[in-house]
Amino acid sequence: MTKKTYHGACHCGAVTFEAKIDFEKGTTRCNCSICTKSRFWFAIVPPEDFKMGQGEDQLSDYTWIPAGKTESHLHYRFCKTCGVRTHAAGSDGTFYAVAIAALDDIEQDADLLARTLKYNDGRHDDLKHAPADTRLL
């Protein structure tokens, strides 16, 4: 499969975006503390494949430094009005993590999404392997 353009938004519609995503490359669920609490399911895209629509000024930003690290590696972006996280941006500017739940037009790709889902053991800083238990992710 090749990249396909998807459109997304927060719940209230104040923030919109589009992203070119190749779901054959997979999507990810992580068990780090923030992904677990927010059930963040994402697809990584390069900057040239992510485009804000409206509402840049309606986004709030959250960063945190994981235990054992010296700096934050992600800026979590969410709507100030409804609180829905639409994406995260890499602090180094090299990628976006697009929230699958914020995409509006993915139903036709549900089987592909399920088939290519990957898990990261972010809790143990092991992004190359799945955690032992993925039931709650």
Question: What is the three-class DSSP state of 8?
Answer: strand
**Which pLDDT score is estimated for 47?**
97
Q: In this structure, is residue 131 part of a structural domain?
A: no
C-beta of residue 34 within 8 angstroms of C-beta of residue 73: no
**Which pLDDT score is estimated for 55?**
98
Q: Is the pLDDT of residue 1 over 70?
A: no
Q: In this structure, is residue 8 part of a structural domain?
A: yes
**Could you tell me the residue range of the domain that residue 69 belongs to?**
4-121
Between 131 and 68, name the one with better pLDDT: 131
What DSSP assignment string belongs to 67-111? TT-SS--EEEEEETTT--EEEEEETTSS-EEEEGGGBSS-GGGHH
Q: In this structure, is residue 89 part of a structural domain?
A: yes
**Closest residue by Cα to residue 43 from 58, 55, 56, 25:** 25
pTM: 0.90
What's the pLDDT tens digit per position in 51-74?
999 999 999 999 988 878 888 889
**Which pLDDT score is estimated for 125?**
85
Q: In this structure, is residue 135 part of a structural domain?
A: no
136: confidence class by pLDDT, cuts 50, 70, 90: confident
Averaged over 25-46, what is the pLDDT? 92
Q: In this structure, is residue 84 part of a structural domain?
A: yes
Task: Say which CATH number the domain at 80 has.
Answer: 2.170.150.70
Question: What is the three-class DSSP state of 49?
Answer: helix
C-beta of residue 113 within 8 angstroms of C-beta of residue 23: yes
**Closest residue by Cα to residue 9 from 60, 63, 82:** 82
Max CA separation in the chain (angstroms): 41
Provide the domain count of the chain.
1
Question: What is the three-class DSSP state of 125?
Answer: coil
**Which pLDDT score is estimated for 54?**
98
Question: What is the three-class DSSP state of 133?
Answer: coil
Q: Alpha carbon 27 to chain centroid distance?
A: 9
What's the pLDDT tens digit per position in 101-130?
999 989 999 999 999 999 999 888 888 899
Angle at 49 between CA 46 and CA 53, to 5 degrees: 125
